[in-house]
Amino acid sequence: MVAALQPFARAQKDLQSSAGNGRHGSIWEWLVTFEGLRKHIKKGMVAAEAKYYENHEIVVAYQQCWQKLDKYYIGSDKQHTLYAAATLLVPYAHKAFFDRNWSKAWSKQMIKSVHEHYKTHYSHSNSTNQDSSSNDEDPSLVDSELLFVKRKALDDEFKVYIDQGVVQHKIPNLLTWWSQSSFPKLAQMAIDLISVPAMSAEVERIFSSAKRLLAPDRHRLTPETLEIFELLRNWWLDEEGLPTERDDD
């Protein structure tokens, strides 16, 4: 049974991190992790059923574990606007993850639901990441026509993203990739979803840190100041967002 439980311990460790780069603690990893755990338990259950008699305690343990995993997996995201949407917006998971693990009908319904969510909440948002040629005072006819074609193609960024397929190369930071992508509206949706923590462990750490900061002689600290302290602490621990050199000017 130790071998059966080891993947659960590893999954818990991975999912309770801060996900500062969009990995190791992001909500999209929950779905991928659960898929892996279900396959692991299913394989163990089949092996146990072949080795032991029907009501053996090992077989029953595997069966109950499988039922519990399946219950949470199916019921976790019936509208597909959180777990599945976040996973779909990971370029190296993309639609390929669902094509491999879900039925065609279920995958199709999921993409339709996520698309509707995008059109309702993000497709009409204002974008500040516009094509540089749109700033030309007097663009040529060629530039104007190509810009029109490009904008027309990006009228539905979600569809363009789905059609372009999975990204094969490694992406060190998912949040940076999306912020620099050519899908400004879809990027906002992706960043909103990928930034959601998979577990409450990191949030609980922040509350504990804030509690230590609010000592009896610091009760006049404002919420804004407390937030600044916690942000600086987080950036310092992640070694991100801090100046590399002192600015004497």
How far apart CA 161 and CA 14 sit, in angstroms, is 28
Record the pTM. 0.76
**pLDDT for res 249:** 45
- 39-59 confidence digits (pLDDT tens): 999 999 999 999 998 889 999
**pLDDT for res 130:** 46
Q: Which residues of the chain have pLDDT under 70?
A: 126-139, 141-154, 238-249
**pLDDT for res 44:** 93
**pLDDT for res 64:** 94
- 210-224 confidence digits (pLDDT tens): 888 888 888 888 889
CB atoms within 10 A of CB 30: 24
